[in-house]
Structure 1
Amino acid sequence: LLRVLQEGEYERVGEETTRKVNVRIIAATNRKLAQEVEAKRFRQDLYYRLNVFPIEVAPLRNRKEDIPLLASMFMGHVRKKLNCTGRELTQAEVVKLQTYHWPGNVRELQNIIERAVISSRCGSVKFDLPVPQASGASLKTPIKKNGGNLGEILTEEDMRLQEKANIEAALKRTDWKIYGTGGAAELLGLKPTTLLSRIKKMGIKK
C-alpha cells in the first residue's frame, strides 16, 4: 500500500512484473490519527502518505441542518430497495431527528431510517430513537459493554442544552410561529404559554 501511494505501482504476490495504477484513494476515520501516530498505534509513513488533502467533517450533531436532506435521501434509497412508496417527513418528525444528539453520526441516522421504513412495512414511519438518561455527576462517560459504545449519557446540563436546541429548532422550522396549527408549541407538544415561559427562561432570542 505504501508503494502504491508513493510510486503508483505494485507487484502481485509471486510475480516479477511491475504494474502501474492510476487511482485516487479516499480514506476516512473517526480517530485523531496524529495522536494515534504519536501513541504508535498507526504507522507514521502511512499517515503522511494518506494525509495529502485532509478534510475535516463536523459531527452530525453540529450540522443538524443537513439532517432533513440526509434522512430524505436514506428513506428514498430504502424504499427503492423495498420497492415501495410513502410520504415525506413531517415537520414534527424532522424536529425529532434534529433534537437527537447522534453519537453514531450519519451511519446511525441511516440505520434508524432503514429500521423505521422496514418496521412500518412501507407505511407511516415511526422513529425509535434511543432515550438519553441522566443521573449523577459522572455521566459524561459513555457506557460501554464488551468494548462497544452504547451511546452518550447526558447530564442534567446536557439535557437542558438539548431542550434549548430542540426549542430553537422548532422555532426556526415554524419561523417563530408559536400559536395555532403548525406552530412551534404544537410541534413540541406544549401549551403556547409554557413554550413562551421556557423561551424567556432560556434566553432564546429571534
Structure 2
Amino acid sequence: MSKIFKLLLFCFLYFLNACKNDSEIKKTNENLKSIKVDSLKFSNDDEFRDITIAFFNWYKLNNNKLGKIKFLKGGYINENDSIAYYIDENEVNKYVKEFDKTGYVSHSYIENLKNHLLSVGKDLKEEKIYDGVVGGLDYDLITKSQDDEEIFSTISTIKLIGQKIISKDDVENYYELRKNTLFLKISYTFEDKWKIENYDFEYK
C-alpha cells in the first residue's frame, strides 16, 4: 500500500511540475509574441527612409542660407593684416538652431554638432591660425564629405540592405546609395517622433 501511495504521490507531483513548466513556456511564448509585435514597428522602413531623404534634401536646399551664418571668424583682413581664426559661439548657436527647427534630427545630434564646432574653437585658442584651412572644418560637416554632389545625387535612391534593432526607441539602418561603392550607416532614435541621431557614409 505504501508503494502504491508513493507512486501516486510521485505521479501527482510530476503532473504539477509539468503543468508549471507548461505555464512558464506559455508565458515565455506570450512575452516573445509581445516582443515580436513591438518589433513590427521597425519592419516598415518607409518612415526612416523618408526622414533620411527629407533631411539631406533640406540641407541641400538650405546650404547657401546656412553658409551665411559665419561661426568661423578672423583670418585675412588685407595684405598687411590678419587676425587669428576663432569660433563665434553665438553664431554656432544660430547654426545648430536651424537644424533643430527641422524636426529631422535628435537632441544628441544637435549637441554633437555644436560640440564639434566648439571643440574646433578650443583648438584655435590653443594653436593660432591666421590663414589656410582649419582642421575640423576642412570637409562638409553634414555630408561629412568633400563631394556634396555625390551624396545629394544618390540620396533619393537609398536602398535598405540591413537593419539592427537596438531597442524599441533605437534603430540602426544600413543603406546602399551607389551600388557596391557608397553606403550609409545611420541611427535613429524616438523622441516625440523618429529622428536621426547619427550617421556615417562609407566608401568602398
Q: Which structure has the highest strand share of the two?
A: 2
Q: Which has the higher contact order (CA 8 A, sep 6+)?
A: 2
**Greater Rg over alpha carbons, structure:** 2
* TM-score, normalised relative to structure 2: 0.24
Q: Give the TM-score of the pair, scaled to structure 1.
A: 0.24
